[in-house]
Amino acid sequence: MSISPSLGIKVKMFSDIDFQGIHPLIELRLPLIKLKPSYSRPNSSTTKITYQFASNRGVIVVTEKNEKFKYFGSISFQGHISLTDDKELTYNLLAIQNQKVLDLSKSQTFNNIDYPASVIAYQLEMNNRNWKNLINQLEDREAYERTLSIFFDPDTVNSSNYRQVERSGEQRLYIIIHPVGFLLRPEIYWLPEAGLPIGVKVSREIDESFGFCGANKLYPVSKKRLDYWSTEYSSSSTYSYDTQEHKIGDQSVKRIMLALELLQGVSAWTTGENSIADVNLKWDLVINVNNQCYPLQIKSNYETAIEAYEKYVERWEQAKIPFPPVIFWTNAGSSIKKIAQSFAQLFDVPLKATQVSTNLEVASTEVNLHKIYKHIDEMGTGNKAHKLIVEALFDAAGRGEWHKQAEDLLQAIVDRGKNSHYQLINHCRIIGKARLKQAEVLKEKLENTQQEL
């Protein structure tokens, strides 16, 4: 137990106490990685151990000499995301008080010197027992614990707590704080700033043409972060968008955007090509509803969505993405109106009173099968060899048309008898569903035309 001198209350270090309920306290949230101490020996009697936090956000240094220990810890502000010419977002450190995010991007003046946020740091001071507790907790933490929260009383901090330090020829400003408690949290440090997640009913049946799969919680992300991460070519990695697979996926995204246009008070935008959101975080679409933004992964069929989800979970376990994803999958046979109804239920928003008939058109993948398959012998025999042809068939059906060449190619696959995953029973079901989809679209078009008249 430790006593907070300012609050006069007992606080357990590393407990489940709700420090946020103590209104005067400020909470600092830091991203965590597995601590890997580095050792150095300045002289034969002294050992120096350094623990580095994630993204160079902070450091703990332990110096041992003659079995005596000294501890030093600092947390850098370092605001380095430029939102506008005169505004920066503090990227890897959050300060929260009374559930409100504090602005740490402002400069501070001390002894007539202006210090930008990039050279300001908190310096931690506490007794050796609490230092040892903190280090033990960080070394033994579980992989899912991604955030260290540090709590201190701002009433104990004034100019007498400021220290000017020169590092590598640069003047820095340290603000000394005395932590009253710590918590290790399972979520990424910046997630709570955007709000609580909403529950998603994931698909259990796979015989429909769209649905949710993957995780059962859809997390919001602050718009400022999304605006930055969605900027084109913000990622250091890139990949080609000029592939048939990407074009099919792009049409899936367009179908969802058409559906979202039918909802009141809902807007959406796609993440930029080769952006951090697209390449690193795997977010295809951002949906804005009730002043909150939800990133979503989109796939063109259920099987692809499940395969992707398994990979995304691995990335989440490695802390490469912030949360297990919700994936919405939709193929060319899906109904725009039914997709809209699904999202209306998810976000608890109504459909628009009037709907423009052009919104009910399904986007085309424009697959030229004749150009791709000049002969049946060019068709593979794997479990996905027929996928592109089925997509083309349902794409045409989604426009109220019929793709005769796709039907003939699928029939040829059946007649050849080399594709164990596409036999006569599969073919009959596919053709039946496609014809039913075509009929639904034609009926929908007819009803819309009659309404307009």
Query: What pLDDT sits at residue 125?
Result: 92
Q: Are residues 337 and 397 in the same domain?
A: no
| Rounded to 5°, angle at Cα 278 from 30 and 223 | 55
Q: Are residues 35 and 174 in the same domain?
A: yes
Q: Are residues 157 and 269 in the same domain?
A: no
Q: Hey, how many other C-beta atoms are within 10 angstroms of the C-beta on 172?
A: 17
SS3 of residue 150 by DSSP? strand
Radius of gyration of the chain, Cα coordinates, nearest whole angstrom: 28
- The model's pLDDT over 194-249, given as tens digits with 9 standing for 90+, comes to 888 999 988 766 656 889 999 999 999 988 888 888 888 888 777 776 676 767 77
Average the pLDDT over 340-355 and give the result. Answer: 87
Percent of the chain with pLDDT over 90: 19
Measured between alpha carbons, how far apart are the two ends of the chain, in Å? 77
CA–CA distance, 305 with 228 (Å, rounded to integer): 26
Q: Are residues 258 and 370 in the same domain?
A: no
Query: What pLDDT sits at residue 101?
Result: 83
Query: What pLDDT sits at residue 179?
Result: 92
Q: Are residues 397 and 419 in the same domain?
A: yes
Query: What pLDDT sits at residue 16?
Result: 45
Q: Are residues 334 and 207 in the same domain?
A: yes
90-93: which pairs have CB atoms within 8 A and are 24 or more residues apart? 90/117, 92/30, 92/31, 92/54, 92/55, 92/57, 92/189, 93/28, 93/29, 93/30, 93/57
Q: Are residues 416 and 393 in the same domain?
A: yes
| Structural domain of 181 | 2-192
| Counted domains in the chain | 3
Q: Please say which residue of 363, 397, 432 terminates a domain.
A: 363
Closest CA to 122 of 27, 259, 238, 207: 27
Q: Are residues 329 and 255 in the same domain?
A: yes
CA–CA distance, 412 with 427 (Å, rounded to integer): 10
Mean pLDDT in the chain?
A: 80
| Rounded to 5°, angle at Cα 217 from 212 and 219 | 110
The answer to whether residue 10 scores a pLDDT higher than 70 is: no
SS3 of residue 246 by DSSP? helix
Q: Please say which residue of 140, 175, 192 terminates a domain.
A: 192
Cα-to-chain-centroid distance, residue 59: 27
338: exposed, middle or buried (Cβ count in 10 Å: 0-12, 13-18, 19+): middle
Q: Are residues 39 and 68 in the same domain?
A: yes
Query: What pLDDT sits at residue 354?
Result: 61
Under a CB-based contact definition with an 8 Å cutoff, are residues 153 and 5 in contact? Answer: no
List the beta bridge partners of residue 171.
166
Q: Are residues 25 and 157 in the same domain?
A: yes
Q: Please say which residue of 346, 363, 380 terminates a domain.
A: 363
- The model's pLDDT over 19-35, given as tens digits with 9 standing for 90+, comes to 555 668 999 988 887 66
Average the pLDDT over 107-131 and give the result. Answer: 89
List the beta bridge partners of residue 165.
172
Element holding 13 (H helix, E strand): none
Q: Hey, how many other C-beta atoms are within 10 angstroms of the C-beta on 392?
A: 25
